[in-house]
Amino acid sequence: MTSGPITRSLAAPLAAKKPHRREHHNDVYIDDYEWLRDKDNPEVIAHLEAENSYTQARTANQENLRTQIFTEIKNRTQETDLSVPVRRGAFWYYTRTVEGQEYGIHCRAPIAGPDDWTAPLLGTEQSVSGEQILLDDNAEAEGHDFFSLGSFDLSDDGTQLLYAVDVEGDERYTIRVRTIATGENLPDAIPNTSAGALFDPSGRYLFYTTVDDAWRPDTVWRHEIGSARAADVSLFHEPDERFWVGVGITRSRKFLMIEAGSSVTTESWVLDASDPTGDFSVVWPRQDNVEYDVEHAVIAEDDRLLIVHNGGSAVNFELVSVAAHDPQGEKRMLLPHDPKIRLESVDAFADFLVVEYRREGLTRLAIDRHDASGLTELDFDEPLFAVGSAGNPEWTQPTLRFGFTSFVTPSTVYDLVVATGERRLLKQQPVLGGYDPALYEQRREWATADDGTRVPISLVYRRDLVTPGTPAPTLLYGYGSYEHSIDPGFGIARLSLLDRGMIFAIAHVRGGGELGRTWYENGKTTTKRNTFTDFVSCARHLIDAGFTTPSQLVAEGGSAGGLLMGAVANLAPELFSGILAEVPFVDALTSILDPSLPLTVIEWDEWGDPLHDAEVYAYMKSYSPVENVRAVDYPSILAVTSLNDTRVLYVEPAKWVAKLREVGADALLKTEMSAGHGGVSGRYSAWHERAFNYAWVLDAAGLNPAGFTPEDS
């Protein structure tokens, strides 16, 4: 359990009960803690602060362990570092980090010439000839408790910078435009925007989105540089509350794109970028439950739109091309549907295409060189890994930048010379202190769900500290929503768990996208309980196979994965010694019933519409964690949230912990008072937060003896 008998005797804060009646579909529910929703109420803030004080006192026995873990993360991290430069136009762009500073510094340096496609391998301390600092996030963040950069774009001629900043954590950004030569900002300042603003190719206009009262990006705007915001033109407004909107531009810089999308339906609009004040036209009119993505390509000197879609029977998506001037005309099949492969995206360059997909639960990358050779898949020699293209802004580049990682291989960046197949290693994430990947083992296990479905589990541990068949402390992570996949990847902070003899595992439960679209479809709306029972089956498999025991097993999940944590706490509390729920969506039914709350209507495609459908209401009530707290022996629980989170409101874990306290559960609540959904900003603050959570995990798993350090193992 989380703490010893002395600290357990501290009196926990008890939230006052103020009954609030909720009635839907002839069902009445009395919510005693709805009053906690009003964060402008001093009584609410006082309660959250009391919870924070209680959590600090209850976890005082972990202070030394927290300090050790923070120090380990810091000592393993190369604090003064820089990213691999990415070429755009006449410059290489990169970001520096400096020891002692929380945020990055965005820089650029000139290319050697038009044929310079070899990224310079810059030293962390060396001065770079011609280097310019474009934006120092540390300077921008000065005086603020929170800082987030939501937009960052350069004009095509390289003379102007567009950037947007959020200093509250509520994901509303203020756009500014800077003249790079002088470092001075223009008068243009556009507050209350979404992330993702950009210049048009002329640099005369910028395009951005704004949100409605429910924080839904619903309108696309055009702003002429130097004009008043009142003169901005609304280009596209989406009235359907299930849909969000975004704006972008193709890699070829030929077309501006607007996309409207719900969880299950999309619609794209296109405009020739040479006419930025023209009218957008629809690519394919929206059809319910049909999603598609659009990319521009030039094939045999013909302008084509490449469309990845799931129309008809293409459950796992297929790739077609259409004429750019007539997108609703003849379709040419490029990659037909394959039930064993989930096609995810296609990227087009002047001389090749890149296709990304999933097979056997792992990401894949393949190249098509615009010749008769077909697709060539990149192969890797590890059993578990994640790969994807990134940092490829240039239409004419002859190389493909891609990243590779696994549980044991730090994030690695390559350039692939497409014409020859040569891979150039550009950088691997430094791990200071003598990291040896040979010490660690990664493997795949399969659990059997209640309905017979096989559910994959990915594991990593130290070979010399863990012997399969001999139970060891284990952290089991899960998510399982929105078709979002949790892929194997390296984490410096995770070494602090592994080097103490802990197994780290991921339960790839239904509702995620690891095994294709049907894997997602069988873990949403009225099949959502599969997500929870799959996780329980994975926990039981690890116990039955001898990897761990209930007294050593801790579960972790965040956001929708926090809902998973709340659900499994109610379903199978006996399987876990601790549950870490980060920004947890644990009052799901209350939130999804209220269309005035941020993003609720958009979520109906994911969870169902309990407001208008009695069957969905009853189904959600059967699993929503707050409504199903019961008098059982719960494991220790830590809920972590943020006061300014606009996606999962702090009130959800606050209610949950209050309900758990009613039945005597050992539940703690920790609220960041100046952060949003992603938690605190700044890398050192993030390391402290991770150290706090991991110290709690280790303590809950029985790995917090006095004075223990990894060297003792």
Give 583-631 pLDDT, tens digit per residue: 999 999 999 999 888 778 889 999 999 999 999 999 999 999 999 999 9
Asked if 54 and 131 sit in the same domain, the reply is no
The string of pLDDT tens digits covering residues 25-53 is: 999 999 999 999 999 999 999 999 999 99
Report the pLDDT averaged over residues 364-386: 92
Within this chain, do residues 70 and 127 fall inside the same structural domain, yes or no? no
Q: Which of 230-234, 404-408, 550-554, 685-689 has the lowest mean pLDDT?
A: 685-689
Cα 596 to Cα 575: distance, rounded to the nearest angstrom: 37
66 and 126 assigned to the same domain: no
599 within some domain:
yes
Dihedral class, residue 283 (left if φ above 0, else alpha if ψ from -120 to 50, else beta): alpha
- Checking if the pLDDT of 711 tops 50, the result is no
pLDDT the model gives residue 675: 53
Same domain as 480, residue 450: yes
Among 89, 104, 136, which residue terminates a domain? 136
Instruction: Tell whether 543 and 583 lie within a shared domain.
Output: yes
**65 and 116 both lie in a single domain:** no
- 546 to each of 100, 475, 539, 541, how far by Cα in Å? 44, 14, 11, 8
Asked which of 91, 117, 136 is the last residue of a domain, the reply is: 136
Clarify whether residues 614 and 652 are in a common domain: yes
Task: Give the pLDDT confidence score for residue 136 in this predicted structure.
Answer: 95
How many residues can be counted in the chain?
713
Catalytic residue among 151, 321, 406, 559: 559
Q: What is the pLDDT confidence band of residue 564, given thresholds at 50, 70 and 90?
A: very high
| Residue 193, pLDDT above cutoff 90 | yes
pLDDT, tens only, 499-546: 999 999 999 999 999 999 999 999 999 999 999 999 999 999 999 999
Catalytic option among 166, 293, 645, 699: 645
Q: Tens digit of pLDDT for each residue in 248-276?
A: 999 999 999 999 999 899 999 999 999 99
Domain of 656?
A: 50-75+443-701
CATH of the domain at 629: 3.40.50.1820
Structure tokens at 579: 């549950």
pLDDT of residue 278: 97
DSSP 11: P
Q: Which residues contact 673 (CB under 8 A, 6 or more apart)?
A: 48, 49, 52, 643
Q: Note whether 535 and 470 are same-domain residues.
A: yes
Percentage with pLDDT > 90 across the chain: 87
The verdict on residue 387 lying in a domain is no
The verdict on 645 and 664 lying in the same domain is yes
Q: How far apart are CA 313 and CA 336, in angstroms?
A: 11
pLDDT band at 458, cuts 50/70/90?
very high
Three-state SS at 81: strand
645 is catalytic: yes
Structure confidence at residue 258 (pLDDT): 98
Tens of pLDDT, residue by residue over 656-704, are 999 999 999 999 999 998 755 555 567 888 899 999 999 999 999 999 7
Q: Strand 474-478 vs strand 553-558: parallel, antiparallel, or unpaired?
A: parallel
Residue 512 lies in a domain: yes
**Residue 553, domain member (yes or no):** yes
Q: pLDDT at position 673, please?
A: 86
Torsion angle of C-alpha atoms 544, 545, 551, 556, degrees rounded to 10: -100
Last residue of a domain, one of 96, 112, 136: 136
54 and 121 belong to one structural domain: no
User: What is the total count of domains within the chain?
Assistant: 2
Q: Which residue has the higher pLDDT, 372 or 468?
A: 468
Distance CA 69, CA 59 (A): 15
Instruction: Please check whether residue 187 lies inside any domain of the structure.
Output: no
Span of 167-171, 672-676, 706-710 with lowest mean pLDDT: 706-710
- What is the token pair recorded at 272? 């020739």
Asked whether residue 531 is assigned to any structural domain, the reply reads yes
pLDDT category of residue 573 using cuts at 50, 70 and 90 = very high
Looking at per-residue confidence, does 129 or 179 come out higher? Answer: 179
Domain contains 709 = no
Distance CA 180, CA 135 (A): 9
DSSP, residue by residue, 372-426: TT-EEE---S-SS-EEEE-S---TT-SEEEEEEE-SSS--EEEEEETTTTEEEEE
Query: Which entry of 223, 296, 677, 688 is annotated as an active-site residue?
Result: 677
pTM of the model: 0.91
State whether 518 and 490 are in the same domain. yes
Distance CA 676, CA 299 (A): 44
Mean pLDDT (the chain, rounded): 93
* Residue 641 · residue 648 · CB < 8 Å: yes
608 and 590 in one domain?
A: yes
Is 577 part of any domain? Answer: yes
Q: Which of 90-99, 244-253, 407-416 has the lowest mean pLDDT?
A: 90-99
In whole angstroms, give the CA distance from residue 150 to residue 197: 8
Residue 677 annotated as catalytic: yes
